[in-house]
Amino acid sequence: MELIQRMLLGEKRACARLITTVENDPEEAEKIIREVQKYTGNAHVIGITGPPGAGKSTLVDKMVKVLADKGNKVGIIAVDPTSPYSGGSILGDRIRMQDLAVNPNVFIRSMGTRGYLGGLSKYTKNALKILDAAGYDYIIIETVGVGQSEVDIVKTADTVVMVMVPGLGDDIQSIKAGIMEIGDIFVINKSDLFGADRTATEINMMLDLSMNMDRRPPVMKVTASKGEGIDSLISEIKSHINFLKTSGNFEKRRSDNMKLEVMDLIESELKKIVISRTANENKLETEVGKILNKEKNMYEVRDEFLKLIG
């Protein structure tokens, strides 16, 4: 495809158009990814997550400036929520990244979650592959930052940066609820605000309590709006990459994530097959009726469906 060629040569417009396609048209997406997957796997993917108001976009802006100034090509995918009522969305993360728009080394793309609950869009991974193939060295994914959905980012990113702010006591609670395992690096942003030390101490204490860690995530104080702590954050990201590569965790993480993706593909393809083969007879409806009437149990029904493709 001509667009793919142009994208591989670094043309931003082609890259943008391919992202639109993979985000919207599953059949075309498959064709494109079949072509470009061989060019992927080179980018280091950084997930930036944390509650709304934590200053994620400003942090991304400052990080990317540093990375791009050093000659790296950086892609950004910024995800914002889609309105469940209209299906529309307002994507406003670029506001904090105005100067980056014209940086030749940088590509920013905003996406709506489009009703997908995972804190990313269902198609974020497709977009990621395009940017990866287009030769971006780092790809930063900024998540929506609401709900418990942040777990998604772990399945996508090589390094996950959890962004917190001082004084939001509830967030510490939510960390307790299980987000602690997600972060590879913890950032207390807006550290010039009162309470930053306390927040840092609390996170440190919780990290100390967590077992089964082959690497103790660092907790860093950053004031993104003033550019303070950005360089150290970047070094921590690099040292995390190093850790992944030297400990063998890099391959493991990527392979785990790819397994999930492949299993997802198989699952959805199987569903499609089952449904297409039984569409005429309305089999699903009939069989479910039987379960509800206590004539059958759901495992019997499953086995029957599986026989159809067996």
Partner 1 sequence: MRPIRVLIAKPGLDGHDRGAKVIARALRDAGMEVIYTGLRQTPEQIVAAAVQEDADVVGLSILSGAHNYLFPRVVDLMKKQGADDVLIIGGGVIPEDDIPGLKKEGIAEIFTPGTTTTQMIDFIKSNLKRTVN
Partner 2 sequence: MEEKKLDQLKSVRQNWEETVLNKSLSRFPEKKEEFKSGSGDTVKRLYTPENTADIDYETEIGFPGQYPFTRGYQPTMYRGKVWTMRMYAGFATAEKSNERYKYLVNQGSTGLSVAFDLPTQIGYDSDHPLAQGEVGKVGVAIDSLRDMEILFDGIPLDKVSTSMTINAPASVLLAMYIAVAEKQGVTPDKLRGTIQNDILKEYIARGTYIFPTEPSMRLITNIFEYCSKEVPKWNTISISGYHIREAGSTAAQEVGFTLADGIAYVEAAIKTGLDVDVFAPRLSFFFNAHNDLFEEVAKYRAARRLWAKIMKNRFKAKKEKSMMLKFHTQTAGSTLTAQQPDNNIIRVAMQALAAVLGGTQSLHTNSRDEALALPTTDSVTIALRTQQILANETGVTNTVDPLAGSYYVEAKTKEIEEKAMEYINKIDELGGAPRAIDLGYIQKEISDSAYKYQMEIESQDRIVVGVNKYQVEEETPKGLLKVDPKVGEMQKKKTDEVKAARNNKAVEEKLKELKTACQGTENVMPYILAAVKEYATLGEICGVMREVFGEYEHAVLL
The token duo for 6 is 């142009």
Q: Does 169 bind partner 2 (CB under 8 A)?
A: no
Given partner 2, partner 1, none, residue 239, with its beta carbon under 5 to 8 Å by kind, binds none
What span, in angstroms and rounded, lies between the C-alpha atoms of 285 and 72? 54
Pairing of strands 138-142, 74-80: parallel
Residue 226 touches which of partner 2, partner 1, none (Cβ within 5-8 Å per kind): partner 2
Of 8-16, 144-152, 176-184, 208-216: span binding partner 1 (CB under 8 A): 8-16
Residue 200 C-beta: closest distance to partner 2, Å: 19
* Rounded Cα distance, 133 and 121, in Å: 19
Q: Which stretch binds partner 1 (CB under 8 A): 18-26, 165-173, 179-187, 289-297?
A: 18-26
Identify the three-state secondary structure at position 69: helix
In angstroms, how far is CA 261 from the centroid of its own chain?
A: 13
The CB-of-90 to partner 2 minimum distance in angstroms stands at 4
Instruction: Please name the amino acid found at residue 287.
Output: E
Q: Rule CB under 8 A: say whether 216 interacts with partner 2.
A: no
Q: Does 201 bind partner 1 (CB under 8 A)?
A: no
Q: How many CA atoms lie within 13 A of 15 on its CB side?
A: 23
Task: Decide if residue 9 touches partner 1 (CB under 8 A).
Answer: no
Q: How far is residue 134 from each of residues 32, 41, 48, 129, 234, measured CA to CA in Å?
A: 13, 11, 21, 8, 22
Closest to 47 in 3D by CA, of 199, 217, 185: 185
Q: Which does 58 bind (CB under 5 to 8 A by kind): partner 2, partner 1, none?
A: partner 2
Residue 58 as a binder of partner 2 (CB under 8 A): the answer is yes
The tally of CA atoms less than 13 A away on the side-chain side of residue 250 is: 15
Residue 96 as a binder of partner 2 (CB under 8 A): the answer is: yes
Q: If binding is defined by CB under 8 A, does position 252 make contact with partner 2? A: no
Residues 75-114 that bind partner 1 (CB under 8 A): 82-83, 85-92, 94-95, 98-99, 101-102, 107-110, 112
Using alpha carbons, list the distances in angstroms from residue 87 to 17, 22, 299.
21, 18, 36
AA letter at 52 = P
Strand partners, 6: none
With binding defined as CB under 8 A, does residue 115 bind partner 2? no
Of these partners, partner 2, partner 1, none, which one is at the site of residue 87 (CB under 5 to 8 Å by kind)?
partner 1
Q: Is 265 in the site for partner 2 (CB under 8 A)?
A: no
Among positions 26, 41, 87, 92, the unique one binding partner 2 when judged by CB under 8 A: 92
Dist. CA 178–CA 222, nearest whole Å? 23
> Would you tell me which residues interact with partner 2 (CB under 8 A)?
53, 58, 90, 92, 95-96, 167, 225-226
**Where along the sequence are the contacts to partner 1 (CB under 8 A)?**
12-13, 16-17, 19-20, 23-25, 82-83, 85-92, 94-95, 98-99, 101-102, 107-110, 112
